[in-house]
């Protein structure tokens, strides 16, 4: 692949409703959209870093810096054989996985188009529809949460996840359980607790949750194994897993039984596929996490989730759950069986709406070979 041009845009787009987690409230999603041209073919990538360093240390500003000053020059400097060679090309930069994944995404889009295939098929996807759920932020009260949960269930979501934080946990989980009946339900703590909170999670064990996502430290694996030993409910790790090695370690010591795969968090699609392959061999189910992406990032996630090991519903909701008007056409819509259809056009299989993208762009920079 001869990479000819890379354009970065810092964008800001309003969510349909504020999204509150244990680390903060998001009302507008800021991110970076990369447009890469190689061999005359255009590919798109979305950076999942947020404006603030609440979920991870990366931010839109750190990603912009690392992209402009290190990753883009490294990519424009010499041709690349295949997108799977991107992690090695970027190996001279420590960390900054979300920045790295942004460019790799666009390269996969291009490579699949060059092969005349959808990205899903190109990476070995086996599903035409992927099972999905919805992730619901912390609400003003448990009663309000029950209403919101019921609305999403009525809209067709067959798996509900609620965010929890200290003081807003057991009562919320109980209210959500009453509201959903026996619909699969799970909680995500985004690292808000310590091992001293084990009794709280033992009480949650009674609610028949599908899993408890990332209860302890954002960089912890060891303490999670101590908690998992005390629970029947599977623990799922999100924040702590940055590579296939992390996933192997976590599964081997019994820190979790399920892994949430986010391509941005593990440094790109190549590493995400490696985590998937490892978990599949280990017999551990995985699901595709989300970061409130626009349709550009969502299309990549949907392709990833079409791989055979993604047996649990992903945080991949319809476009209208996040944004009034998505940046792509057609927008993602929820099927009655709580799935999203995997686009079958070449590459990502969605069209980026240039006027929408222009309308949300705050800053733009173009780099040429
Ligand atoms: O922990 O899974 C998370 C959103 C932003 C940052 C972290 C997380 C989330 C979500 C939303 O849960 C998932 C989605 O995109 O629907
Ligand atoms: Mg999570």
Evaluate: CB of 291 within 6 angstroms of ligand 1: yes
Domain-embedded: residue 349? no
Evaluate: CB of 236 within 6 angstroms of ligand 1: no
β-pairing verdict for 212-213 and 185-188: parallel
Taking CA atoms only, the protein residue closest to ligand 1 atom 7 is 291
Evaluate: CB of 240 within 6 angstroms of ligand 1: no
What number does the ligand 1 atom closest to the CA of 161 have? 12
Note the pLDDT of residue 213: 98
- Judged by its nearest atom, the ligand closest to the C-alpha of residue 15 is 1
Distance CA 45, CA 33 (A): 6
Domain-embedded: residue 13? yes
What number does the ligand 1 atom closest to the CA of 262 have? 2
Domain-embedded: residue 331? yes
In this structure, are 108 and 145 located in the same domain? no
Domain-embedded: residue 129? yes
Distance CA 255, CA 110 (A): 37
Range of the domain at 92: 3-116+354-368
In this structure, are 11 and 147 located in the same domain? no
Evaluate: CB of 315 within 6 angstroms of ligand 1: yes
User: Catalytic: 226?
Assistant: no
Evaluate: CB of 292 within 6 angstroms of ligand 1: yes
Q: How close is the Cα of 289 to the center of ligand 2, in Å?
A: 7
In this structure, are 89 and 186 located in the same domain? no
Q: Are the C-beta atoms of residues 93 and 63 closer than 8 Å to each other?
A: no
Domain-embedded: residue 48? yes
Note the pLDDT of residue 111: 98
Q: How close is the Cα of 185 to the center of ligand 2, in Å?
A: 14
In this structure, are 189 and 102 located in the same domain? no
Domain-embedded: residue 71? yes
Ligand 1 pocket: which of 18, 315, 318 to mutate (most atoms <8 Å of CB)?
A: 315
Q: How close is the Cα of 115 to the center of ligand 1, in Å?
A: 32
pTM score, whole prediction: 0.98
Evaluate: CB of 172 within 6 angstroms of ligand 1: no
Q: Are the C-beta atoms of residues 351 and 116 closer than 8 Å to each other?
A: no
Which residues face 259 on adjacent strands?
237, 286
In this structure, are 21 and 106 located in the same domain? yes
Q: Are the C-beta atoms of residues 297 and 48 closer than 8 Å to each other?
A: yes
Ligand 1 pocket: which of 155, 288, 290 to mutate (most atoms <8 Å of CB)?
A: 290
In this structure, are 337 and 360 located in the same domain? no
In this structure, are 93 and 146 located in the same domain? no
Ligand 1 pocket: which of 98, 287, 292, 297 to mutate (most atoms <8 Å of CB)?
A: 292
- Judged by its nearest atom, the ligand closest to the C-alpha of residue 214 is 2
Q: How many domains does the chain have?
A: 2
Note the pLDDT of residue 158: 98
Q: What is the pLDDT of residues 203-259, one digit of tens each?
A: 999 999 999 999 999 999 999 999 999 999 999 999 999 999 999 999 999 999 999
Nearest C-alpha neighbor of 277 from the set 44, 84, 45: 84
Q: How close is the Cα of 222 to the center of ligand 2, in Å?
A: 18
Note the pLDDT of residue 288: 98
Question: At 322, which CATH number?
Answer: 3.20.20.120
Domain-embedded: residue 348? no
The residues of the chain scoring below 70 in pLDDT are none
What number does the ligand 1 atom closest to the CA of 190 have? 1
In this structure, are 172 and 38 located in the same domain? no
In this structure, are 166 and 227 located in the same domain? yes
Note the pLDDT of residue 37: 98
Nearest C-alpha neighbor of 300 from the set 290, 287, 285, 311: 290
Nearest C-alpha neighbor of 56 from the set 203, 227, 228, 241: 241
Note the pLDDT of residue 356: 98
In this structure, are 93 and 148 located in the same domain? no
User: Catalytic: 262?
Assistant: yes
In this structure, are 140 and 288 located in the same domain? yes
Q: Please, how many CA atoms are within 13 Å of residue 241, restricted to the half-sphere of its CB?
A: 33
Question: At 111, which CATH number?
Answer: 3.30.390.10
Domain-embedded: residue 286? yes
Note the pLDDT of residue 53: 98
In this structure, are 98 and 140 located in the same domain? no
Evaluate: CB of 221 within 6 angstroms of ligand 1: no
């Amino acid at each position: 692949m001869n990479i000819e041009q890379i354009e970065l845009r810092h964008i800001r787009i309003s969510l349909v409703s504020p999204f509150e987690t244990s680390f903060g409230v998001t009302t507008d999603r800021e991110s970076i959209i990369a447009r890469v041209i190689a061999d005359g073919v255009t590919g798109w990538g979305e950076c999942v870093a947020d404006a603030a360093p609440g979920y991870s240390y990366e931010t839109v500003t750190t990603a912009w810096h690392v992209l402009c000053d290190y990753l883009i020059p490294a990519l424009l400097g010499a041709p690349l054989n295949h997108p799977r060679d991107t992690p090695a090309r970027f190996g001279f930069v420590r960390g900054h996985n979300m920045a790295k994944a942004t460019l790799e995404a666009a390269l996969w889009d291009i490579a699949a188009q060059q092969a005349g295939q959808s990205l899903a098929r190109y990476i070995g996807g086996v599903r035409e529809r992927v099972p999905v759920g919805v992730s619901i932020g912390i609400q003003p009260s448990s009663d309000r949460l029950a209403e919101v949960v019921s609305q999403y269930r009525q809209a067709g979501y067959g798996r509900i996840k609620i965010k929890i934080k200290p003081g807003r946990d057991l009562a919320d989980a109980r209210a959500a359980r009453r509201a959903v009946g026996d619909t699969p339900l799970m909680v995500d703590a985004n690292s808000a607790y310590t091992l001293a909170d084990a009794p709280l999670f033992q009480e949650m064990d009674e609610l028949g949750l599908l899993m408890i996502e990332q209860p302890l430290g954002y960089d912890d694996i060891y303490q999670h194994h101590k908690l998992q030993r005390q629970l029947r409910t599977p623990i799922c790790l999100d924040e702590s897993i940055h590579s296939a090695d992390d996933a192997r370690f976590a599964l081997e010591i019994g820190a979790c039984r399920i892994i949430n795969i986010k391509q941005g968090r593990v440094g790109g699609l190549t590493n995400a596929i490696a985590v998937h392959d490892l978990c599949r061999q280990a017999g551990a189910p995985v699901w595709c996490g989300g970061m409130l992406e626009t349709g550009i990032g969502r299309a990549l996630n949907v392709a990833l989730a079409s791989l055979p090991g993604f047996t649990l519903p992903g945080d991949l909701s319809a476009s209208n759950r996040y944004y009034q008007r998505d940046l792509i056409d057609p927008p993602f819509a929820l099927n009655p069986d709580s799935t999203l259809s995997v686009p079958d056009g070449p590459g990502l299989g969605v069209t980026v709406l240039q006027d929408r993208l222009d309308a949300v762009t705050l800053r733009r920079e173009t780099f040429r070979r």
